[in-house]
């Protein structure tokens, strides 16, 4: 978005942004008018995403060249030149136009590729041919924002050639460059309504918007400003587990701050129009303990009663063979992602907790590491039939199933682990067992309750992980230094050991786990009794 001769100039990105977040349009408009300064924060992954996007687009264009298409490439042209060159190439009937410059009125954009289609029965203003828009996208699933952007380019192309393109196409990675095609007419009405809403938002005084958290926040350059504003407002989005719907309802009831929610009388003094009353009691109690932790300056937690049998009752009796598993994976490497580091903590002969790991920086190594892990589990299982595999969240079991399917190996072993209910998700158990004064029930937050201290500070570990992941995403032969690998290994080891701490650690405040484990020795768990391994 930019202001030129008093007119706001809009692009396809502005349209997609408007769909993601109205507040973003508002901030961009104020920036364009010079009312606020440029944000100084940028997601460190964006540059890598851009490079991967360019690489994907380059590969697609190479595939067009390989088919013998005559291509007009305008990648190096500035906006005005690209616009004129695009119109000239369209009139000359070029088979493909790369980085086509399109602009009409206050709207402008650069389409990845315009592809020529023959129009024998229905000529365009150009002749017996016309153009359809192709966009190269990295996302595995096509999003509404992508369709909107393509509609936007198709609309501009329609204006030039005097004929609406019939289809718009998305090229996703690793699908042999076969396009995913959508009919423009199926989305045109929706596109026009979003476009009108955006035009209104920038023409008239924008409505008073609020930075409600949305998915786009993760990559948005305004994140720092919006997060700061929410913090100053003690916003309800900081209450762990409070849904957007609940927050809306609470605001309608005059409760818009965490502190207000924490002090709401019980029983809840209103009948919610949406959602169950119990849900509001739950988040009210969550806000209360968060406020308590904040005002007293110390970590607070309280045990929940385990009526559902989903909390501490799910924690199996400890076994000397127990395994604490953590995988480091990157979903954007190659086709289907890569689990690049397999780590486990387990107790050795001398009774101390040890750590073992396998790196997998390419496909064949991933298979080897997966087989190594399975063999190690079954070797321990032969000595400790009561062992469990502890993990935090659903990632690890899902990755194990994915690897089994990818390599068609160790199927029987994985089946036995799953049927024997040998995976124990500590995240579910923690969430169902206790209420804690934290904004989210992540491993990193929960390990503080066990007094677990990491060997590597998280910012350093994250930087090293991102470095490795960017290398893996951008090059088939990543160049990794020993230092960076050591940091990630130590981070992985911390995650494995923290899982152990979350389930076992002695001393306050996790003695509840100890007490529970002692109790479980007398009452065999339902999971253990179902074991068929």
* Of the candidates 230, 194, 237, the residue with the CA atom closest to the CA atom of residue 211: 230
Binds ligand SF4 (CB under 6 A): choice among 11, 15, 23, 499:
23
Spatial contact of 327 and 339, defined as CB atoms under 8 Å apart: yes
Q: Which two tokens stand for residue 280?
A: 């509001």
Q: How many CB atoms lie within 10 A of CB 3?
A: 14
Binds ligand SF4 (CB under 6 A): choice among 101, 165, 173, 211:
211
CA dihedral 141, 145, 150, 152 (to 10 degrees): 170
Contact between 24 and ligand SF4 per CB under 6 A: yes
Number of residues located near ligand SF4, criterion CB under 6 A = 13
Q: Which residues inside 415-434 make contact with ligand SF4, applying CB under 6 A? A: none
| Among the residue ranges 193-201, 210-218, 253-261, 496-504, the one whose residues contact ligand SF4 (CB under 6 A) | 210-218
Half-sphere exposure of 526 (CA within 13 A, CB side): 6
| Among the residue ranges 16-24, 184-192, 358-366, 464-472, the one whose residues contact ligand SF4 (CB under 6 A) | 16-24
Task: Compute the distance between CA of residue 86 and CA of residue 156 in angstroms, rounded to an integer.
Answer: 12
Contact between 21 and ligand SF4 per CB under 6 A: yes
Nearer to ligand SF4, 31 or 338 (CB): 31
Q: DSSP string spanning 191-246?
A: HHHHHHHHHHHHHSPPP-------GGGGG-TTHHHHHHHHHHTTBGGGSTT--HHH
Task: Compute the distance between CA of residue 289 and CA of residue 299 in angstroms, rounded to an integer.
Answer: 9
CB of 235 to ligand SF4, least distance (A): 11
Distances (CA, A) of 70 to 61, 62, 463: 11, 11, 43
CB of 239 to ligand SF4, least distance (A): 17
Binds ligand SF4 (CB under 6 A): choice among 226, 369, 403, 498:
226
Nearer to ligand SF4, 23 or 380 (CB): 23
| Among the residue ranges 140-148, 216-224, 316-324, 413-421, the one whose residues contact ligand SF4 (CB under 6 A) | 216-224
Q: How many CB atoms lie within 10 A of CB 442?
A: 14
CB of 52 to ligand SF4, least distance (A): 22
Cross-strand bridge partners of residue 131: 116
| Among the residue ranges 22-30, 176-184, 388-396, 499-507, the one whose residues contact ligand SF4 (CB under 6 A) | 22-30
Contact between 344 and ligand SF4 per CB under 6 A: no
| Among the residue ranges 20-28, 293-301, 326-334, 404-412, the one whose residues contact ligand SF4 (CB under 6 A) | 20-28
Contact between 488 and ligand SF4 per CB under 6 A: no
Q: Which two tokens stand for residue 31?
A: 């920036």
Tell me which residues touch ligand SF4 (CB under 6 A): 20-21, 23-24, 27, 211, 214, 216-217, 220, 222-223, 226
């Amino acid at each position: 978005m930019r202001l030129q001769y008093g007119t706001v100039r809009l692009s396809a990105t502005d349209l997609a942004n408007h769909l993601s977040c109205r507040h973003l349009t508002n901030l961009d408009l104020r920036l364009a008018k010079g009312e606020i300064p440029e944000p100084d924060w940028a997601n460190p992954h964006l540059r890598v995403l851009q490079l991967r996007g360019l690489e994907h687009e380059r590969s697609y264009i190479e595939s067009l060249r390989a088919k013998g298409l005559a291509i007009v490439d305008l990648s190096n042209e500035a906006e005005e030149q690209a616009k004129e060159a695009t119109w000239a190439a369209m009139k000359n009937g070029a088979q493909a136009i790369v980085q086509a410059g399109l602009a009409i009125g206050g709207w402008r954009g650069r389409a990845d590729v315009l592809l020529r289609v023959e129009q024998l029965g229905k000529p365009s203003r150009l002749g017996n041919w016309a153009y359809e828009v192709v966009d190269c996208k990295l996302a595995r699933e096509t999003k509404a924002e992508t369709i909107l952007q393509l509609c936007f380019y198709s609309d501009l192309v329609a204006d030039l050639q005097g004929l609406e393109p019939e289809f718009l196409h998305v090229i996703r990675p690793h699908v042999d460059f076969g396009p995913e095609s959508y009919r423009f007419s199926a989305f045109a009405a929706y596109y026009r309504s979003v476009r009108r809403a955006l035009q209104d938002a920038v023409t008239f005084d924008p409505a008073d918007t609020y930075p409600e958290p949305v998915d786009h926040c993760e990559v948005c350059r305004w994140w720092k400003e919006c997060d700061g504003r929410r913090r100053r407002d003690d916003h309800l989005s900081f209450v762990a587990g409070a849904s957007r719907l609940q927050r809306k309802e609470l605001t309608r009831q005059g409760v818009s701050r965490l502190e207000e929610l924490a002090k709401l009388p019980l029983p809840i003094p209103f009948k919610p129009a949406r959602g169950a009353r119990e849900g509001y009691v739950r988040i009210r109690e969550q806000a209360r303990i968060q406020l308590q932790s904040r005002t007293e300056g110390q970590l607070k937690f309280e045990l929940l009663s385990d009526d559902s049998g989903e909390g501490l009752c799910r924690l199996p009796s400890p076994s000397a063979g127990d395994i604490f598993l953590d995988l480091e994976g990157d979903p954007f490497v190659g086709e289907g992602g890569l689990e690049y580091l397999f780590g486990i903590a387990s107790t050795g002969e001398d009774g101390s907790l040890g750590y073992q790991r396998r790196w997998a920086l390419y496909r064949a190594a991933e298979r080897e590491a997966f087989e190594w892990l399975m063999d190690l589990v079954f070797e321990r299982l032969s000595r400790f039939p009561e062992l469990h595999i502890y993990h935090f969240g659903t990632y690890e079991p899902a990755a194990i199933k994915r690897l089994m399917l990818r390599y068609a190996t160790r199927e029987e072993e994985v089946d036995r682990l799953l049927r024997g209910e040998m995976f124990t998700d500590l995240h579910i158990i923690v969430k169902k067992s206790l209420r804690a004064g934290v904004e989210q029930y992540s491993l990193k937050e929960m390990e503080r309750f066990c007094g677990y201290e990491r060997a590597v500070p998280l910012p350093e570990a994250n930087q090293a992980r991102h470095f490795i992941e960017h290398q893996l995403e951008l090059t088939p032969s990543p160049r990794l230094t020993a230092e960076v690998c050591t940091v990630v290994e130590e981070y992985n080891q911390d995650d494995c050991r923290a899982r152990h701490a979350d389930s076992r650690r002695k001393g306050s405040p996790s003695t509840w786990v100890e007490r529970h484990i002692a109790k479980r020795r007398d009452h065999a768990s339902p999971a253990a009794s179902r074991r068929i391994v």
